[in-house]
């Protein structure tokens, strides 16, 4: 991921991560990884809970764990994705994802992304809203737009 749509260089993000996962049970998994994110290397370990309904139209996931990059932080993430069928080939699409990262002194970074649209077998498109907060939320960004995702 390379995120560079900000006016201040301190918010530009280069992010590469490799993760190894172990499935503990049908709903729980343990993840360990390492990567590079400006300003340097990081390591992470987290536990994830995931629920999917039988129709595979509802996916809920929550994870919490520690990241080490020049100090430890607690990172939590939440995802809910709902894709009910509209026709034989077309589904509605709703996705909310939120991540919060804190150290022992402050809320270092968080984001919330909302996607509402349509999905077929390989293509998703619709409206998007992003909100991001940096450094105890004194610095924040919001944007509204459209999204298109194609799975090869």
User: With bands split at pLDDT 50, 70 and 90, how would you rate the model's confidence at 132?
Assistant: confident
Mean pLDDT of the chain: 87
Whether the predicted pLDDT of 1 surpasses 50:
no
Q: What is the pLDDT of residues 29-87, one digit of tens each?
A: 999 998 887 777 889 999 999 999 998 899 999 999 998 888 888 999 999 999 999 99
First to last CA, the chain: 18
Cα–Cα dist 6/15, whole Å:
15
How high is the pLDDT of residue 11?
60
């Amino acid at each position: 991921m390379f995120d560079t749509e900000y006016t201040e260089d301190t918010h530009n993000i280069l992010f590469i991560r490799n993760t190894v996962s172990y499935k503990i049970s049908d709903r729980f998994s343990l993840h360990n990884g390492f990567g590079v994110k400006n300003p340097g290397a990081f390591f992470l370990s987290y536990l994830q809970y995931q629920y999917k309904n039988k129709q595979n139209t509802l996916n809920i996931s929550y994870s919490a764990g520690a990241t080490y990059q020049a100090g430890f932080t607690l990172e939590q993430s939440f995802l809910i994705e709902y894709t009910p069928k509209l026709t034989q080939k077309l589904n509605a699409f709703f996705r909310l994802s939120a991540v919060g990262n804190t150290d022992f002194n402050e809320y270092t970074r968080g984001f919330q992304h909302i996607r509402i649209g349509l999905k077929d077998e390989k293509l998703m498109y619709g409206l998007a809203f992003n909100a991001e907060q940096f450094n105890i939320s004194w610095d924040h960004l919001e944007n509204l737009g459209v999204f298109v995702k194609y799975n090869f």
